[in-house]
Chains A and B, each alone.
Chain A
Amino acid sequence: MWQLNLDRSKEQIAEPYGYRTQIHEADDSSRRRQKDIKALKQQKAAEMANKPFMGMFSTFLMLYMSGSALNIIPIIITCMAMFTPIKTLFSFKEAFAPYEEEGVSLFFPKLKYLTLNMITMLAGIYKFSIMGLIPVNAEDWISMIPIRDPIEVSYGTLIS
């Protein structure tokens, strides 16, 4: 007769070819791998947070080089400098979605990401203000000042 004893702890027989590793051994490895992935995600999130930083200098250089004259080139460059951070701000949830996981802290990367984008945007706003395109002065609202009509009207003549 044959028998199958599932308790093989006392046996010293080599396991058959292709027989899978013991379960408890496998659990340890998965845990380690999960730990690696979390670290990777954290690292990737940090990289994503640094991404705006990489484009910042080229943007600043372009803003500086385009001058503050009111013509189409500086306006286009400044609009692009403004538009890119705005676009990324609207899509920053999607940008960090792959890194969302329990135990992965995205607060600081997100904050950094937002801050860097805000800095680029502020640079654009500053450029617009230099160009006089942001209505912050009294003279920007000159059209609000109504034309006054006189209550009394006078007419005159020089007798010849």
Chain B
Amino acid sequence: MWWILALFVTVSGIYEDQVGEYDWSLSHIGKVSYFAPASSGRYIVATERGIIAGLRSNGKAEWRKIVSKLDNPVLITSSSNFIATFSDNQVSVFTPHDGTLQWTKGIHDVLDIKIVALSMKEYLCLQKSQEIEVLELSTGESSRVFSLGNVVKIIGANDGEIEVQAKEEILTIWTINIKTGKTEKVSGSLKGKQFCLKNACVSQDKDKVEIYEKGKFFVKEWKGKNIEKTINNSNYALTEDHEVYEIKENYRKIVAAGPGIFSAGEDELFWISPSSTEFILIIYSINEGTSKQAKVIYKEKLPQIEHFWGFLTQKGEFVGFLTLSDFSFTCFTSTEIKWVREEGLGHLKHVYFAELPNKALHHSNDYVSAIKQDNSWVKSPFNFLLRLKIQLQSFSLWLEGKSKIDEEKELIQDVFGINKLILGVSASNYIFALQSLYKNTVWKKSFIEYGEFYQLVQTGIEEILLIFKENTNIKLVWILSTSGETIKTETIKDFDLLEAIILDKTEKPGVLLVSNSLKVKNVTKDVKAENIYFYKIDPKENTIFGYKIIGENSHLVWSMALSAQEEIKAFATEKESKIHQPAIATGTSRLIYKHDDANMFALATIKSSDLYIYVINGVSGSILAKLRQEGVSGSVNLVLHENKLIGHYWNSKYSRYEMIAGEFFDSQVDTSATHVLASYYEGTFEDKYSSFDLANPIIFTQTYAFPGGIKDMKVTRTLQGITTPDLVMILNTNQVYTLNLKWLSARRKQEEDKTEGIFDQPNLPIYKPNLPLVQHNILTYYMNLDGLEQLEITWTLLESTSLAVAYGLDFFVVRVMPEKSFDILTREFSRSTIVMTILGLILLNVVVERYFSYKTQRNNFKQ
């Protein structure tokens, strides 16, 4: 009886209704390039991602608008009443307090825009190549168009007239009178480098300057060095030796500062000089001629400052804003950093998952490694003993009081393996590490000095290898996953990287680098690389080349030329989802076999509105399938999972989005148990296969109409691959949607089809041409996310659960449970009841055993 006690293992559970609590998102605006304070402590910003936003004083975005399309360049100007933008041939005007669109108008060829206030009325001036168009800002009605020839810049308003800098060798200013429609051109006399400021312009020729102010030109001797640039939205010019001059009729030197960055307020000038982890702030009061200095400590190594804006609040307190080279937007006062928006995360190009170390049940510990390696019945007792050993270790930790580990601080994996490190590579050349459970940025690090990022791979429990391309050199950087600290670096010279091959995504994967000259370098020398093939799809040559790696060289094995008109649209391979169950129990007593080919890849091309999908074996180059669909245009998405192919495209013939589903099977079908058993006991089942010996598969295809466009799609991955996967998609509406793969089977039978095929599977739904869009399958539910472009999915230690990350502008992390939470306890589950029941049964067992033993003895005595 006591062996029952050995079955006890500690388990943990989460509740069904807690699942929704574990998705989280980050909302971004992108790298800030325009800043203007607005009323009520709000700030208006515009970013390089084509977004305008209203920020509160705590840095939270109150509203944001994608002006036309993500990443489209935006021209912006603002006043206290309106924000005007130009993007994608549209002029739009918004209100600053809530971002409501006031009006929008299609206007072409606008080079710059500026709001000009004239006699209590605001006008929007549009600078075009040869003319200036002036619109009434509040209504958008066109007032006038003025043909002025080539112009450089709209300066502003002066004495009821709009001033425009003409493109001339000599400083020339156009003045426009809106009321009369009269234009006038005034020119100076000095040739030289021209700068136009807020209310004045200056032209410098060595030691002479000509200043334009209020309709008049003044030629003056210049005592300073060459003017290098102007300080935004001010009348201050900066010389090459960092002196600041106020440009007006009688110009004057304000300050001689060192190298740093200036920003101008109403009557103040702000200067900051950064050092490694801090910066000096000096506030110059122009009228009073005084200055105040402060030191602001940055929390870490200060990235390069790209933009600086400063101003004094109504209370006279300084508030500064920085756009840094990591794309973060930082608000600071004269004493401290107030808040930081990590906008580098709004420019993510790639996302990778890394496993965190786990003190009790890390995936790399003996048990999980053992079940991954061999979880057969024969091995299960040994695996069970290993599990017991780990449980005892956990128990001893618990006895020592060490079980309550702060996972967030200590960066360790949780028992369900959901806490992973999400490594995001930003366009800012920074890598951000976030914890999937805790929504926090663990570390960020610049790798700009190593070159262009190419690949990231986890090479150890806490070790990550980063691969960078730097011209013809390769830089390998090993870092500590938990801190981002560099462990070691290695440079491979004269190696023009073509491809980095990650041999096996185990805990110690091998990494092979292949150069354009087909040389091979094994980065992980302890990993053997045998029977390795690789292929490259070259869109320039419209050819696929297949190579075999032999030693340090690779040799061409096969090539496949696509026709010249074919445009490559999508490519899919699925190395990570190896077949976990090679056969399918159809429910009809027949056993059908998936076409087990881990070397399959799919390629979609479009040739004169015909979509071609090739399924090719990457080793032998043999074409397993070639599917064709007429009337296709736009982008194509492809997914390959086990023996399934799914493609999504726009069918221009029927004006609808469609999905094509393909399934590949071996011709062998087993109907008899004896055959399976005989094969098993006689050992005739093969545990290895060669791509050169594989027979062509039997292919099923089916087409479905899908109710929306998608940006990216991936199939969920689970630990053992037992759970039927879901297809996770980012819809064009920036919603993340899941659809179970059973709906995308190519073997769904039509209702009227009563014939019985040998590959039939009765538990598949009846064929309907339209795929469902079920509202409760939208994982982003009512969240208003924008700019989700790509998707990455990984497994957790819960078989039911995958972890998905959608990224682009916003960042969304969610758990996906394709077959619901079959391994998650419900809220009603009472641990105490089950423990009491088991203990009661054990007690009952003991009592009954004793009682009958006593009774037997008594009976025997009587006899």
Chain A residues near B (Cβ < 8 Å): 135-142, 144-160
Chain B residues lying within 8 Å of A142, measured Cβ to Cβ, are 581, 583, 585, 591, 676
Chain B residues lying within 8 Å of A138, measured Cβ to Cβ, are 589-591, 670-673, 675-676
Cα–Cα, bound, A153→B573 (Å): 12
Among A146, A155, A157, A160, contact of B532 (Cβ-Cβ < 8 Å): A155
Among A151, A155, A160, contact of B534 (Cβ-Cβ < 8 Å): A155
Among A149, A154, A160, contact of B546 (Cβ-Cβ < 8 Å): A154
Q: A150 — nearest CB in chain B belongs to which residue?
A: B598
Asked if A148 and B583 sit within 8 Å, CB to CB, the answer is no
Cα–Cα, bound, A137→B673 (Å): 5
Cα–Cα, bound, A158→B562 (Å): 14
Cα–Cα, bound, A146→B589 (Å): 19
Asked if A158 and B568 sit within 8 Å, CB to CB, the answer is yes
B690 interface hit (Cβ, 8 Å): yes
B596 interface hit (Cβ, 8 Å): yes
Asked if B583 and A157 sit within 8 Å, CB to CB, the answer is no
Chain B residues lying within 8 Å of A159, measured Cβ to Cβ, are 498, 536-540
B2 interface hit (Cβ, 8 Å): no
B3 interface hit (Cβ, 8 Å): no
Cα–Cα, bound, A3→B372 (Å): 109
Cα–Cα, bound, A141→B591 (Å): 9
Cα–Cα, bound, A128→B17 (Å): 37
The 6 closest A-B pairs by CB, nearest first: A154-B618, A139-B585, A138-B670, A137-B589, A154-B533, A144-B680
Asked if A150 and B534 sit within 8 Å, CB to CB, the answer is no
Among B536, B598, B687, B692, contact of A157 (Cβ-Cβ < 8 Å): B536
Chain A residues lying within 8 Å of B503, measured Cβ to Cβ, are 153
Chain A residues lying within 8 Å of B689, measured Cβ to Cβ, are 148-151
Take A141-B680, A150-B598 as given contacts and tell me if A156 and B534 are in contact as well, using a CB distance cutoff of 8 Å: yes
Asked if B591 and A148 sit within 8 Å, CB to CB, the answer is no
Among A135, A147, A154, contact of B535 (Cβ-Cβ < 8 Å): A154
Chain B residues lying within 8 Å of A154, measured Cβ to Cβ, are 532-535, 546, 599, 601, 617-619, 691
Cα–Cα, bound, A150→B595 (Å): 12
Cα–Cα, bound, A158→B545 (Å): 11
Chain A residues lying within 8 Å of B589, measured Cβ to Cβ, are 137-139
Q: A132 — nearest CB in chain B belongs to which residue?
A: B587
Q: A140 — nearest CB in chain B belongs to which residue?
A: B673
Q: A144 — nearest CB in chain B belongs to which residue?
A: B680
B828 interface hit (Cβ, 8 Å): no
Chain B residues lying within 8 Å of A160, measured Cβ to Cβ, are 539
Instruction: State how many angstroms separate the Cβ of A156 from the closest Cβ of chain B.
Output: 4
Asked if B596 and A136 sit within 8 Å, CB to CB, the answer is no
B404 interface hit (Cβ, 8 Å): no
Asked if B537 and A156 sit within 8 Å, CB to CB, the answer is yes
Instruction: State how many angstroms separate the Cβ of A112 from the closest Cβ of chain B.
Output: 33
Chain B residues lying within 8 Å of A145, measured Cβ to Cβ, are 582-583, 591, 593, 676, 680, 685
Asked if B582 and A147 sit within 8 Å, CB to CB, the answer is yes
Among A144, A146, A153, A158, contact of B531 (Cβ-Cβ < 8 Å): A153
Of listed B587, B593, B673, B687, residue having the most chain A CB within 10 A: B673
Cα–Cα, bound, A154→B599 (Å): 6
Cα–Cα, bound, A140→B598 (Å): 25
Chain B residues lying within 8 Å of A147, measured Cβ to Cβ, are 578-582, 687
Chain A residues lying within 8 Å of B498, measured Cβ to Cβ, are 157, 159
B400 interface hit (Cβ, 8 Å): no
Cα–Cα, bound, A147→B596 (Å): 9
Instruction: State how many angstroms separate the Cβ of A130 from the closest Cβ of chain B.
Output: 13
Instruction: State how many angstroms separate the Cβ of B692 from the closest Cβ of chain A.
Output: 8
B501 interface hit (Cβ, 8 Å): yes
Asked if A148 and B688 sit within 8 Å, CB to CB, the answer is yes
Asked if A153 and B680 sit within 8 Å, CB to CB, the answer is no
Asked if B676 and A149 sit within 8 Å, CB to CB, the answer is no
B222 interface hit (Cβ, 8 Å): no
Interface bits B478-520 vs A (CB < 8 Å: 1, else 0): 0000000000000000000011011100000000000000000
Interface residues of B in 687-722 (CB under 8 A from A): 687-692
Instruction: State how many angstroms separate the Cβ of A67 from the closest Cβ of chain B.
Output: 18
Asked if B582 and A156 sit within 8 Å, CB to CB, the answer is no
B199 interface hit (Cβ, 8 Å): no
Take A154-B535, A154-B546, A156-B573 as given contacts and tell me if A136 and B673 are in contact as well, using a CB distance cutoff of 8 Å: yes
B300 interface hit (Cβ, 8 Å): no
Cα–Cα, bound, A152→B529 (Å): 10
Chain B residues lying within 8 Å of A144, measured Cβ to Cβ, are 676-677, 679-680, 685
Take A146-B687, A159-B536 as given contacts and tell me if A153 and B599 are in contact as well, using a CB distance cutoff of 8 Å: yes
